[in-house]
Amino acid sequence: MSNAAVTPVDLKRKLTLPLLTLYGLGVTIGAGIYVLVGTTAARAGVYAPISFLIAAAVVAFTGFTYSELSTRHPVSAGEAAYVREGLKSNTLTLIVGLLVALSGIVSSAAVSIGAAAYLGEVVSLSPTLLTIAIILIVGVVAAWGILESVLIAAIFTVIEIAGLSLVIYFGVSAEPEILSKFDTLLPPFEGVVWGGIISASLLAFFAFVGFEDIANVAEEVVEPHKNMPRGIILTLVVATILYFLVVSVVVLVVPMEELAGSAAPLALVFESAGSTASGIFRLIAIVATTNGVLIQIIMASRVIYGLSRQKSLPGFLSVVNPVTRTPLTATALIVVLVLVFATLLPIAQLAEATSTIVLIVFSLVNLALIRLKMKGQQPTDGVFVVPLWVPVMGLVSSIALLMSGFLPI
């Protein structure tokens, strides 16, 4: 047997900072902001934008934790590598890696059903058939190549951002006087008001989940020691600005009684804009949901690949195709699992569990960095370093959000 036949093929470093940031935005901006505005407004009223700022501040702690760990260990299945290094537990390492992959699988399945529902308004096929078609087509794109698939995802992300920009534009165009009303978004110092704002911020948090997926393409990033922290931070900054502006416009333009009860709150801004604008926004929603499926499949396949490379899963799952330079076996496995979840299992309940999964992972990742710092393990040159209190705050805030899910609302 020739050496070429047994020499493993590595993933290809093709992701520059702009592509990495668009990847992060693509997986962060999506269903959350498109559907959560009404729910947060039901709790926080016109102060919903403040809830999103609070959520951003909470997520930022874990974001900075990921920034350091992703430069200490720029590998696929990053969370698993972080936990192995910090907590020295092979069992926890495997559990964390599988939890991250599971969150991507469940999210892909749920979002693919949403994409099929939007597409079903244009194509008269059964929802199940449309769901299967979307997953298979997206799976082929994910297997095609990291540069090609992320370029497509980047284009879709730009379209998503354009959709949110349309919300801002049409909202301000419809009622220019709202520009003078931004001061009404500042809440008074009253316990009842802030209780609603804090409660809504727990919902708004889930609109930011996704930035952590950047860690799982680290082996395909150009100059990861520089670009990983920059990509994570830029993703959170851009998402926060977009969310604040969008939510501010929506709560100032749409009557609160309509907004609080709406499952598609952003569409309410277009009610007076005519059928053309509404149709464009509907197409953007299809693109946004399909993009979510693509990026989550890429992420989950890299986690499985990384766990295999780390000897936590069978070796055949880390085989990289020499032509596409992607882990075809791992990608195929993820696509099959997404199909199973999307067509056979109660996706709504599983999707709710995704939030819990993510918060458990956040808690363990923050704990891993705390342990590394307390043991005095010095990072190598070029590593992005944060002070100890950052992962401590990340751990506390993640546990608090996790526990809040068990409290009655």
Task: Give the per-residue pLDDT at 12.
Answer: 59
The count of other CB atoms within 10 Å of the CB of residue 2 is 6
Q: What is the pLDDT of residues 4-46, one digit of tens each?
A: 444 555 555 667 888 888 888 877 876 567 666 777 888 888 8
Higher pLDDT, residue 383 or 60: 60
Confidence of residue 349 (pLDDT cuts 50, 70, 90): low
* Angstrom distance (rounded) from CA 98 to CA 184: 45
- Check residue 3 and give its pLDDT: 46
Token pair 């931004």 is found at: 182
Is the pLDDT at 409 greater than 60? The verdict is no
Q: What is the pLDDT of residue 6?
A: 46
Output the CA torsion sign for 289, 290, 295, 299.
positive
* Cβ partners under 8 Å of residue 242, min gap 6: 29, 33, 161, 164
Alpha-carbon span 168 to 161, nearest angstrom: 11
For the residues 375-389, what does the mean pLDDT come to? 80
Please tell me the predicted confidence (pLDDT) of residue 395. Answer: 95
Residues 213-242 pLDDT 10s: 787 677 777 777 788 889 999 999 999 999
The yes-or-no verdict on residue 1 having pLDDT over 50 is no
Structure tokens at 179: 């520009």
Provide mean pLDDT across the span 274-297: 76
Choose between 265 and 161: higher pLDDT: 161
| CA angle (343 as vertex; 340, 347 as ends), nearest 5 | 90
Percent of the chain with pLDDT over 90: 11
Return the CA Rg of the chain. Answer: 21
Q: How many CA atoms lie within 13 A of 268 on its CB side?
A: 23
Mean pLDDT score across all residues of the chain = 79
Domains of the chain: 12-372+387-399 (1.20.1740.10)
Distance (Å) of CA 146 to CA 19, 99, 154, 157? 11, 23, 12, 16
The predicted pLDDT at position 366 comes to: 94
pLDDT of residue 391: 95
DSSP3 helix / strand / coil % (the chain, rounded to 5): 80, 0, 20
**Per-residue pLDDT reduced to its tens digit, 326-341:** 788 888 889 999 999 8
Look at residue 125 in the predicted model and tell me its pLDDT. Answer: 79
Nearest 10 degrees: Cα torsion 348, 352, 354, 355: 150
Banded pLDDT at 402 (limits 50, 70, 90) = confident
DSSP for 106-164?
HHHHHHHHHHHHHHHTTS-S-HHHHHHHHHHHHHHHHHH-HHHHHHHHHHHHHHHHHHH
**Torsional sign, CA 268, 270, 276, 281:** negative
pLDDT of residue 258: 73
Residue 359 has pLDDT above 90, yes or no: no
Using one digit for the tens of pLDDT, what is the confidence trace for 66-111? 988 888 887 766 787 888 888 888 888 888 888 888 888 887 887 7
Which of these ranges, 280-284, 300-304, 393-397, has the smallest mean pLDDT?
280-284
pTM: 0.76
